[in-house]
């Protein structure tokens, strides 16, 4: 306020010749209007879209997750199919040109023989055998989702030919098909596990943050103890406790519960601190004054305020679960055949002397690293976008 308006030392009366348009200050550009009217999720999406690496990661993950429903169609071989003539066959390189002529994608045939001196399988690529890869074709019969008999594949080997993109293992099972089928368990175990830990985290963190007092301090103690424990040895002990007689499906659910049971403290802590700050907000007080029950206030009024944060931190804890399953199955404590996951496949690579001779047994390492990196980048992007009004 200038001294002139207080009338102590009056200046000359001034009138702006332009006139006053009350709407003038409030005219928004189209851009601004669009932004202010957009719902929260839309703004999150706009912000997420700017994070190029995160978007790329999301696309990569989408393609990986396609393997979950369509594994049978994407894989050239059924997962348990044993190619008895091709044990420990090396990966077949895909070529385009044969003797200078374009043939389209094809592989050269393999001639197996046994090296009796070193006791290993030796494969010669036979450059006279050109085996054209077929696409969208009828191949090995399988049961889609274990229910419907079918034989349609996206990619098949040539008739009477082979197509081992990532080699085969000791029983002649195609590794690439194994990877595609393995994605089904490896990729979903993280999601299911994270949902379990999210339910626990929201529930316990919510109780601690909303009620405070002794509930808060006892839950805090539990969180502190859980966080000071080395996770993997406990995972090992818990999964060793799963009865061997259980079917793979039960083992799978057992594992997700185990992974989720030890993972919730981080989420609970985040929920608690968010709730502590949000419950002081006016709207939470208003709801309480109007007689809303605590659970209604938490779920209806407070939770939406940090759902995006929750999703972001859940995304960041998916890789830990995928790795946990891989480690457990690798150590023979998790899933076992006939269930196939990336950890189960890696189990074949446990013996280093086998790996040195047949290095393609380590193939599952590649998708695991890609998926973990992608989840990390996508989680980073989501976390940055989670609070769009900042």
Partner 1 sequence: MLNYILRRLLVMIPTLAAISFLIFFIIELPEGDYISNQISMLRSTGESASIGRLEFLRKEFALDRPFVERYGIWVGLWPGPNGFDGLIQGNWGWSFEYDQPVGEVVGPTLPLTVALNLATVLFIYCVAFPIGIYSATHQYSVGDYTFTLIGYLGLATPNFLLALVLMYLANSWFGLTVGGIMEEHYIGEPMSGGKVLSIVAHLIVPVIVIGTSGTAAMIRRLRANLLDEIYKQYVTTARSKGMRESKLLVKYPLRVALNPFIADIGNLIPSLVSGSVIVSVVLNLPTVGPVLLGALQSQDQFLAGFILLFVSILTLIGMLVSDVLLGYLDPRIRLGKEGARQ
Which residues form the interface with partner 1 (CB under 8 A)?
221, 224-225, 227-234, 236-238, 240-241, 243, 319, 323, 326-327, 330-333, 346, 349, 352, 355-356, 359, 362, 365, 368-369, 372-373, 376
**What HEC string does 129-194 produce?**
EEEECEEEEEEEEEEECCCEEEEEEEEECCCCCCCCCCCECCCCCEHHHHHHHHHHHHHHHHHHHH
The nearest distance, CB 353 to partner 1, in angstroms, is 9
Q: How far is the CB of 88 from partner 1 (least distance, A)?
A: 16
96 vs 369 by CB, closer to partner 1: 369
Residue for token pair 């089928």: 181
Nearer to partner 1 by C-beta: 120 or 296?
A: 120
CB of 356: closest distance to partner 1 in angstroms? 5
The least CB distance from residue 56 to partner 1, in Å, is 14
Q: Which residue has the tokens 């009217």?
A: 37
d(CA 234, CA 226) in angstroms, rounded, equals 10
Q: Judged by CB, which is closer to partner 1: 149, or 233?
A: 233
- By C-beta, is 143 or 227 nearer to partner 1? 227
Longest dimension (CA), the chain: 111
Burial grade of 13 (CB within 10 A; 0-12, 13-18, 19 or more): exposed
CB 177 within 8 A of CB 162: no
Considering beta carbons, is residue 311 or 373 the nearer one to partner 1? Answer: 373
CB of 237 to partner 1, least distance (A): 5
Specify whether the backbone of 7 is left (phi greater than 0), alpha (psi in -120 to 50) or beta.
left
Half-sphere exposure of 121 (CA within 13 A, CB side): 19
Q: With respect to partner 1, which residue has the nearer C-beta, 40 or 376?
A: 376
Q: Which is nearer to partner 1, 120 or 285 (CB)?
A: 120
Considering the complex, what minimum distance in angstroms separates the CB of residue 114 from partner 1? 22
Least Å distance, CB 98 to partner 1, is 31
| Cβ proximity to partner 1, 295 vs 351, nearer residue | 351
The string of DSSP letters for 193-251 reads HHHHHHHHHHHHHHHHHHH-HHHHHHHHHHHHHHHTS-HHHHHHHHHHTS-TTS-HHHH
Strand partners, 98: 101
| Side-chain half-sphere exposure of 250, counting CA atoms within 13 A | 7
Q: In the structure encoding, which two tokens stand for residue 31, read together? A: 């851009």
Closer residue to partner 1, CB minimum distance, 156 or 363: 363
How near is the Cβ of 219 to partner 1 at its closest, in Å?
13
Task: Tell me the closest approach of the beta carbon of residue 203 to partner 1, in angstroms.
Answer: 20
In whole angstroms, give the CA distance from residue 99 to residue 103: 10
Establish how many alpha carbons lie within 13 A of residue 164's alpha carbon, considering only the half-sphere containing its beta carbon: 26
For partner 1, which is the closer residue by CB, 114 or 237?
237
For the bound state, the minimum distance from the C-beta of residue 269 to partner 1, rounded and expressed in Å, comes to 12
Torsion from C-alpha of 28, 33, 37, 38, nearest 10 degrees: -150
């Amino acid at each position: 306020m200038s001294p002139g308006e207080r009338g102590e030392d009056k200046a000359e009366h001034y009138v702006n010749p332009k006139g006053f348009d009350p709407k003038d200050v409030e005219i928004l550009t189209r851009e601004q209007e669009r932004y202010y009217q957009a719902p929260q999720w839309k703004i999150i999406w706009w912000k997420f879209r700017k994070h190029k690496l995160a978007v790329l990661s999301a696309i990569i993950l989408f393609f990986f997750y396609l393997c979950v429903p369509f594994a049978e169609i994407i894989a050239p071989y059924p997962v348990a199919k044993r190619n008895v003539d091709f044990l420990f066959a090396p990966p077949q390189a895909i070529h385009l040109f044969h003797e200078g002529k374009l043939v389209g994608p094809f592989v050269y045939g393999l001639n197996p023989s046994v090296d009796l001196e070193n006791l290993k399988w030796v494969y010669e690529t036979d450059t006279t055998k050109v085996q054209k890869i077929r696409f969208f074709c009828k191949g090995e019969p399988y049961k889609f989702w274990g229910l419907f008999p079918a034989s349609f594949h996206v990619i098949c080997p040539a008739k009477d030919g082979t197509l081992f993109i990532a080699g085969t293992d000791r029983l002649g099972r195609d590794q690439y098909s194994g990877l595609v089928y393995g994605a089904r368990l490896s990729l979903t175990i993280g999601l299911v596990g994270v949902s379990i830990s999210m339910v626990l985290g929201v529930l316990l963190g919510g109780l601690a943050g909303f009620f405070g007092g002794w509930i808060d301090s006892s839950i805090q103690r539990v969180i502190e103890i859980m966080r000071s424990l080395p996770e993997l040895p406990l995972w090992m002990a818990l999964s060793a406790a799963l009865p061997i007689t259980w079917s793979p499906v039960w083992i799978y659910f057992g594992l997700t519960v185990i992974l989720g049971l030890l993972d919730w403290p981080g989420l609970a802590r985040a929920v608690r601190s968010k709730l502590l700050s949000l419950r002081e907000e006016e709207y939470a007080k208003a709801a309480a004054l109007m007689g809303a029950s605590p659970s209604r206030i938490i779920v209806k009024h407070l939770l939406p305020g940090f759902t995006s944060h929750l999703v972001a931190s859940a995304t960041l804890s998916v890789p830990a679960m995928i790795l946990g399953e891989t480690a457990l199955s690798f150590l023979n404590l998790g899933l076992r055949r006939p269930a196939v996951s990336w950890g189960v496949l890696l189990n074949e690579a446990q013996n280093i002397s086998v790996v040195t001779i047949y290095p393609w047994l380590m193939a599952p390492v590649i998708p695991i690293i890609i998926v973990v990196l992608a989840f990390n980048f996508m989680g980073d992007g989501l976390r940055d976008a989670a609070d769009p009004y900042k």
